[in-house]
Structure 1
Amino acid sequence: MAGCASGVKHSQMASTIPVVQQGEGRIYFMRSASMFGAAVQSDIRLNGEVVGRSQPGGFFYVDRPQGTYKASTSTETEKTLSFVLDAGETKYVRSSPSLGLMVGRIVLELDTPEKAEKELGGLSYTGKPVAPVAQK
């Protein structure tokens, strides 16, 4: 499928993902592997900083201090999602293509942990390289 994420699957790398540091929470950004809107891919910003890209079949995560956050995408129009992240909490933000006036849009919504974790295992990692976790 053209334009789909092709990194390591979450199920293959889950044990290498570091533990969240004290005072921080984790935000997963994910997108289903669907042909609908596959060509529509947008940077994802968190409080104005580009943290990754919405790619079909892909996921990435960022760890941030507890606080209020605004995630956004932009094609012909900006779509935003605001939420509060608590220390030790994990949020799941789903990006989905939708129809726009001239081009497609990427819409963001919070997903439930139950729904997100079922799908996450089959998605490919598109984020920054993850340092291996030291074995004890």
Structure 2
Amino acid sequence: MKRTFLKLCVLAAASAVLAGCATGMKHEEMAASMPKLKAGEGRVYFFRSSSMVGAAIQPDIRLNGHVVGTSKPGGFFYVDRPAGNYVASASTETEKTLSFTLQPGETKYVRSSIGFGVVAGRNTLELETHEKAVNELNSLSYTGTVAGK
């Protein structure tokens, strides 16, 4: 009886975690149909590897104080913005920020990851190289719409 209850609890927890993982079209399936950049703009990809660590923690991602998407395991989204200086941020038990400059026609890749924290997982944002990001993006699912400007 106790084992059956334990198995049901484990299955319920696993289902809840998996429900939070990104689902949708893969980057490699939609890359050819993505809009071209407008003159004077750059593109910023936000992505998060698929991992069970912190899967239930899905903080909003902000760019210069405006929510542009959500950090979901196994997912990515992108925003196109005018060239300039930007601050990306995400909050769990602490707020983490990442500052960068976006040039016209440039693409930046921001990796979001969840590590262990005291009360909840801690989000980290870091710039990733083009090579590493593109290699990983192809297996990730699109998690949103392009946020308004």
Q: Same fold (TM over 0.5)?
A: yes
- Kept in 2, the 8 Å contact 1:29–1:95? The answer is yes
Q: Distance in 2 between matches of 1:7 and 1:80?
A: 27
Unaligned 5+ segments in structure 1 are 130-136
What's the offset of the Cα at 1:127? 1.7
Unaligned 5+ segments in structure 2 are 1-17
Q: Percent identity?
A: 66
Report SS of the residue matched to 1:62.
strand
Matches within 5 A, 1:1-136: 1-128=18-145
Q: Distance in 2 between matches of 1:17 and 1:5?
A: 19
1:37 aligned partner, one-letter code:
G
Higher Cα radius of gyration: 2
- Kept in 2, the 8 Å contact 1:41–1:106? The answer is no
What's the offset of the Cα at 1:2? 3.1
Q: Distance in 1 between matches of 2:129 and 2:34?
A: 20
Q: Distance in 2 between matches of 1:14 and 1:78?
A: 31
Measured against aligned partners, the alpha-carbon deviations of 1:67-102 in whole angstroms (never above 9, x if no partner) come to: 000000011110000000000000000000011121
Extract structure 1 runs of 4+ deviating beyond 6 A. Answer: none
Q: Distance in 1 between matches of 2:93 and 2:112?
A: 16
Q: Distance in 2 between matches of 1:7 and 1:106?
A: 23
Q: Which has the higher contact order (CA 8 A, sep 6+)?
A: 1
The alignment's C-alpha RMSD in Å is 0.9
Count of residues in Structure 1 that have an aligned counterpart in Structure 2: 129
Measured against aligned partners, the alpha-carbon deviations of 1:32-59 in whole angstroms (never above 9, x if no partner) come to: 0111111111000000000000000000
TM-score (ref. length: structure 1): 0.92
TM-score (ref. length: structure 2): 0.84
